[in-house]
Amino acid sequence: GDSVTQMEGPVTLSEEAFLTINCTYTATGYPSLFWYVQYPGEGLQLLLKATKADDKGSNKGFEATYRKETTSFHLEKGSVQVSDSAVYFCALSLGHTQGAQKLVFGQGTRLTINP
Amino acid sequence: NAGVTQTPKFQVLKTGQSMTLQCAQDMNHEYMSWYRQDPGMGLRLIHYSVGAGITDQGEVPNGYNVSRSTTEDFPLRLLSAAPSQTSVYFCASSYSASGSYEQYFGPGTRLTVT
């Protein structure tokens, strides 16, 4: 079945460090790919997305490129801040039925940034 | 615009008790869904609805019932709670006409079954 695998956490970095959170997927079709972020005590928010191969999603300094050849969608940020501390989820969607977008999530990676 | 709201925020149940987790959205979204979040497992889809009167099962539907009588509300019912249902529950909604199918999540309900 369709699945998403993220790098194991937790990840702890110092402020201004470079961040990479790996994400790979298995899917029978051509999925759309997403990164969601969950700040402490809150629900998930969409961080960025890419809908086809070689697309790059970006938001708030984060980037991820849809790599079909390696079935990957790694999240990167050049210089992290303390406010980026959160849990990050990679997810895929194989489209929609009558408007339904079913998401398959990875297990989440907890990121802590120390000042 | 309140977005997606969930009540209660926290709940403790004894095994065998029943309860309903409430979810409401004020964005006129057609699609609503329930997920549960367990450590190390990400979010898993329980049930979803593509409109009033239409519901379907997700990945882990056993032990849960849903109904969708209005566009705004999508309650999740636990008929006989079990310790395995201890989890954080998230409701989400989306609007197909937006083209992006971005899902908007509520703040979650943390449920403990003893």
pLDDT for the residue numbered A96? 59
Give the CA-trace dihedral at A56, B36, B12, B8, to 10 degrees. 60
pLDDT at B89 (0 to 100): 97
Q: Return the CA Rg of chain A.
A: 14
pLDDT of B98 over the 60 cut? no
What would the DSSP string read from start to end of B32-87? EEEEEE-TTS-EEEEEEEEETTEEEE-SS-TTEEE--SSSSB--EEESS--GGG-E
Answer yes or no: do B101 and A101 touch at CB < 8 A. yes
Count of Cβ atoms closer than 10 Å to residue B30 Cβ: 18
Report the percentage of chain A scoring pLDDT > 90: 75
- Distance of residue B35 Cα from the nearest chain A Cα, in angstroms: 10
Q: Which residues of B touch A44 (CB under 8 A)?
A: 43, 90, 92, 103, 105
Nearest residue on chain A to B90, judged by CA atoms?
A43
pLDDT top residue among A9 and B87:
B87
Closest Cα of chain A to B65: distance in Å?
Answer: 18
Mean pLDDT over the full length of chain B = 92
SS3 A1: coil
Structure confidence at residue A99 as a pLDDT band (50, 70, 90): low
What the block records as the tokens of B108 is 């979650």
- Phi, psi for residue B47 in degrees, rounded to 5: -145, 160
Q: What mean pLDDT is reported for chain A? A: 91
Residues of A with CB under 8 A from a CB of B: 4, 32, 36, 41-46, 49, 89, 93, 96-103, 105-108
Read off the pLDDT band of B96 (50, 70, 90). low
Min Cα separation B58/chain A (Å): 9
- Give pLDDT tens digits for B38-57: 987 889 999 999 899 999 99
Which B positions 21-80 lie with beta carbon below 8 A of chain A? Answer: 30-31, 33, 35, 40-45, 48, 50-51, 54, 56, 58
**What confidence tens digit (pLDDT) does each residue in A38-77 have?**
998 888 999 999 988 999 999 999 999 999 999 999 999 9
Nearest beta carbon to residue B101 from set A4, A89, A96:
A96
Residue A100 or residue B74, greater confidence: B74
> Residue B101's pLDDT is what?
65
Determine which of A51-60, B21-30, B63-72, B95-104 has the lowest per-residue pLDDT on average.
B95-104
Predicted local distance difference test score (pLDDT) of residue B99 = 58
Q: Work out the percent of chain B whose per-residue pLDDT is above 70.
A: 94
Q: Tell me, what's the pLDDT at A100?
A: 60
Nearest-by-Cβ selection for A98 from B33, B50, B105 = B50
Which residue of chain A has the CA closest to B5? A43
